[in-house]
Amino acid sequence: MANPELALQVIKNLIRLARGSNIRTLDDVRSRSELQQYIEQLKVTKGGDLPSVRRWQTAKRWILVVLLAFALLQFYFMDVFVEMMSVSGRLVP
């Protein structure tokens, strides 16, 4: 290489960038403080209080009720089918 010092500096900067220890700008500091404020707000807010969470919980309950009803109907129809098969076997002499 023509300039080994420059190549070494580029490599050091790439290593710092990859490690995340590069020099932070003022915008990064602002966004970092905004992120910390957002995280603090999330700590205070409960998940069940959010309207989207309540909607999903209601949808989950309804889906579970529908699946339970389907399972009960399936059990009933299979029981009736097995009874019909066993009755036809008993009627033949």
Q: Cα–Cα distance between 9 and 14 in angstroms, integer?
A: 9
| Mean pLDDT of the region 23-32 | 58
- Does residue 24 contact residue 18 with C-beta atoms inside 8 Å? no
Q: Cα–Cα distance between 21 and 15 in angstroms, integer?
A: 9
The answer to whether the predicted template modeling score (pTM) of the entire model surpasses 0.85 is no
pLDDT tens column, 29-67: 567 777 777 777 777 777 777 788 889 999 999 999 999
Domain map (residue ranges) of the chain: 1-44, 51-93
